[in-house]
Amino acid sequence: MAAADAGLAQRSNFVCLGTNVRSGSAKILITATGPRTEFGEIAARLSRRAPETEFERSLRRFGQMLTS
């Protein structure tokens, strides 16, 4: 059994969204849902926008100058 704070790669006793049992049966204990899951954390990180770089800022200003 993996520690509660173990990373995803160290875990071998978990199921993810969409997991199904091919034969027999299974019982699971749900410990987190939605944004508190690994999937939810990954989705949150992907939705964050990276800060604007100096190049992007200059390019935006140049575009604004052209359209003024």
pLDDT at residue number 1: 67
From first to last of its 68 residues, the chain has per-residue pLDDT tens of 677 788 777 887 777 777 888 898 878 878 888 898 888 888 999 999 889 999 999 999 999 999 98
pLDDT at residue number 25: 83
pTM higher than 0.85? no
In 3D space, the residue among 23, 45, 26, 21 whose CA is nearest the CA of residue 35 turns out to be 45
Rg (CA), the chain: 22
The single residue listed with the structure tokens 């995803």 is 8
Q: Which phi-psi region, left, alpha or beta, contains residue 11 (left: φ > 0; alpha: ψ -120 to 50)?
A: beta
Q: How far apart are CA 8 and CA 23, in angstroms?
A: 25
- Copy the structure tokens of residue 42: 């990954």
pLDDT at residue number 8: 74
The residue type of 42 is I
Domain ranges across the chain: 1-40
